Structure 1
Amino acid sequence: MTSVLVVIPTYNEALTIGKAVDRTRTSVPDAHILVVDDASPDGTGALADELAELDDHVHVLHRGGKQGLGAAYVAGFGWGLARDYDVIVEMDADGSHQPEELPRLLHAAENADLVIGSRYVPGGRTVNWPYKRQAISRIGNTYTRVALGTALRDATGGFRAFRAAALRELDIESVASQGYCFQVDLAWRAVRGGLRVIEVPITFVEREQGESKMDGKIVREALWRVTRWGVEHRARQLRGLVGGSRR
């Protein structure tokens, strides 16, 4: 890996952003970090600016307001692609994703287009996660697997490493999904595009500070979009079968 960018979106993460940056810099010293802040009222953006002033491996992208997780990642990916990073990582600021596991993802990215840090492959696990959240996640991933016919165990996971060339193929500017659905959207595009997608086990730890951004709107969006994609996918398969039988 010649250059790695870790994109960390933030909204009211003043309590956690410093630790997230420090742990990431320690785990992967050569990597650069881009904090994408959506004008956090709690001053997260200003704290990120202070970190950037002290470390030339830390950068900050300020956005005008809360525009959603998916849009933040798209902006961060675009920033990284414009600067020719080879691998671009997405990671939460709240401590749920362990920066110490980044080297495992980056090693796997040497032979893959997209590496997903997975809670649900052998060796993966969750720690201190509320039962309701875990149930939503497991049910959502099972539904996604069945609806889309994909073998991915953790299509909603948000700890990932992309080869830059793969992101360019995914047409990220056209992605409108948010939350869980953003993760499914990119993974599904990669699978449909014939890219090499692999999952490596991670330990997902429930955040100890701050508040989760998950809400019913995000879950409903994921259900609606995945259902639509699944119907479209099955329709394409059916048309292919009918077309093949006529020949």
Structure 2
Amino acid sequence: MIATSPARSYTEWGNVRCNVRSLIIIPVYNEEAALQRVLGEVRRAAPQSDLVVVDDGSTDRSTELASQHSGVEIVRHDVNRGYGQSLITGFGQAVAGGYDVAITIDCDEQHEPQRIPDFLRAIGGADIVSGSRYLDPAMPGDPPPPDRLRLNQEFVAKLRAITGYPITDAWCGFKAYRVEALRKLVLTEPSYGMPLQVWVQAAYHRLRVIELPVARIYKNPSRRFWGGLDDPQTRRAYYLRVLEAEVARWLPDRLSLVQGARS
């Protein structure tokens, strides 16, 4: 279990400099090649935050390597349950541990740990701070795989219409959450569609959401989507199912905005 009295960091909450308990959640699945580098960079960027690695049933040495880092909590799924479920597990740790802020950052080196302090500062004025790889066109970055760009553009347009949030990136995993906001969310989707639940429920609860520009980094553009979602059309159909179910539950008056996308 995570320590009940974690180290504290200071950040701006509104105009007040506050003592904030923060937990960094790192979902991992077979990331032995990058894990130690990422953990080291995260620790240097946020030395006063606590870290939890959620190992989603890795078959490589990920858990063993993570255990070599002192002060890193490890939660392991016995089987691969999905990216979304890894984050949900991490959120549960943040809630149970009484943290103020949860930061999520991936372990595939597509996110820059040195940006964590920016997210900690920004969360003082929001309930959710979401990284965006498309917010600042002037920011250097790798070209996105065409299918991912198309799907992001389509679902960003849908989410803007449904939620009213002027977002530019539907799926960036680099985020900060106030834990009091996480307590309001009912997240159940174990795969890559879970962020769609976050957006819809955030709108329902009228949470304050802002984006921060982050670098667009694709170390391995051909990296697979697990769960049979490599095919873009299969992935699109899955995302539409998740979005339709979520809107039907929380924002039913806007359901036509999803159903009109089916083609």
Normalised by the length of structure 2, the TM-score is 0.78
Q: Give ranges in structure 1 of 5+ residues lacking alignment.
A: 239-247
**CA–CA separation in structure 1 for the residues paired with 2:235 and 2:142:** 22
Question: C-alpha separation between the residues in 1 aligned to 2:154 and 2:195?
Answer: 15
Q: Which amino acid letter does the alignment assign opposite residue 205 of structure 1? A: I
* Number of residue pairs matched by the alignment: 231
2:146 to 131, 140, 143: 131
Match of 1:91, as an amino acid?
I
Name the CA distance, whole Å, in 2 between partners of 1:168 and 1:230: 19
Match among 61, 64, 67 for residue 78 of structure 2: 64
Q: Matched residues in 1 for 2:100 and 2:163: separation? A: 29
Residue 60 of structure 2 corresponds to 42
Greater shift in the superposed pair: 214-223 or 30-39:
214-223
Q: 1:135 to 1:236 in 2, by over 3 A?
A: closer
Q: Does 1:152 align with 2:146?
A: no
Q: Identify if the C-alpha distance between structure 1 residues 237 and 49 changes in structure 2 by more than 3 Å, giving closer, same or farther.
A: closer
SS in 2 for 1:195: coil
Q: Secondary structure at the match of 1:157?
A: coil
Among 82, 90, 93, which residue is 1:79 paired with? 93
Whole-Å separation in 2 of the counterparts to 1:219 and 1:10: 24
Using CA pairs below 8 Å that are at least 6 residues apart, which structure has the higher relative contact order? 1
Asked if 1:176 corresponds to 2:189, the answer is yes
Residues 69-112 of structure 1 show CA distances to partners (whole Å, capped at 9, x for unaligned) of 11111111101211111100111100111111111111000111
Give the superposition deviation at 1:159. Answer: 0.9
Structure 1 residues 138-177: Cα deviation after superposition (integer angstroms, max 9, x where no partner):
33322333455542222322111001111111134xx225
Matched, 1:203 2:215: yes
1:115 to partner: Cα distance = 0.5
Match of 2:3 in 1: none
For residue 116 of structure 2, the aligned residue among 102, 108, 116 is 102
Measured in 1, the distance between the counterparts of 2:142 and 2:49 equals: 27
SS in 2 for 1:188: helix
Misfit runs of 4+, over 6 Å: 231-234
Q: Check conservation: 1:94, 1:210, Cα contact below 8 A.
A: no
Distance 1:49 1:210, change over 3 A: farther
Specify the alignment match of 1:11 in structure 2.
Answer: 29
Conserved in 1, the CA contact under 8 Å of 2:126 and 2:209? yes
The one-letter amino acid paired with 2:127 is D
Amino acid at match of 1:176: E
1:168 partner letter: R
Matches of 1:23 and 1:112, distance apart in 2: 25
Partner residue in 1 for 2:201: 189
Q: Structure 2 residue aligned with 1:225, among 242, 245, 253?
A: 242
Aligned Cα root-mean-square deviation (Å): 2.5
SS of 2:216 mapped into structure 1: strand
SS of 1:143's equivalent in the other structure is helix
CA distance in 1, matches of 2:243, 2:32: 33
